[in-house]
Amino acid sequence: QVQLQESGGGLVRPGESLKLSCRTSENIFDFNSLGWYRQAPGKEREFVASINLSVLTDYGDSVWGRFTISRDAAQKKLYLQMNSLKPEDTAGYYCRAKVLARRYWGQGAQVTVSS
């Protein structure tokens, strides 16, 4: 069973930065892709960023140019560097792993951006 564990969430002020981590129980190269999603209260889950086996990355429109996804295969970790944070970035952030048709999710890390 694939396990994903997020960490690094917290409370920051607008304009500040935060880096999320996701530790995987499996070899990074076992996954077709890894990604981050977020969900704010009362809203649907939203795509944030993804990275595939070819290290191609993709980003949601609302985070383009501010967030950076990366991975460390040796550490079995996925990262999300979040810069220039805005109050509208406040949400639970979830790590997702994709293996063929299967999707696995972490339990989430809360990010709150408030002055």
Sign of the CA dihedral running 23, 28, 32, 36: positive
According to the model, what pLDDT value does residue 81 have?
A: 98
Say if residues 7 and 94 touch (Cβ distance below 8 Å): no
- Per-residue pLDDT tens digits for 14-65: 999 999 999 999 988 889 999 999 999 999 999 999 999 888 999 999 999 9
86 residue type, one letter = K
Cβ atoms within 10 Å of 57's Cβ, excluding its own: 15
pLDDT confidence band for 70 (50 / 70 / 90):
very high
Cβ atoms within 10 Å of 88's Cβ, excluding its own: 10
How confident is the model over 78-84, as a mean pLDDT? 98
Q: Please give the angle made by the CA atoms of 64, 62 and 36, to the nearest 5 degrees.
A: 75
115 CB-side CA count, 13 A:
3
According to the model, what pLDDT value does residue 1 have?
A: 85
Query: In the chain, what percentage of residues exceed pLDDT 90?
Result: 89
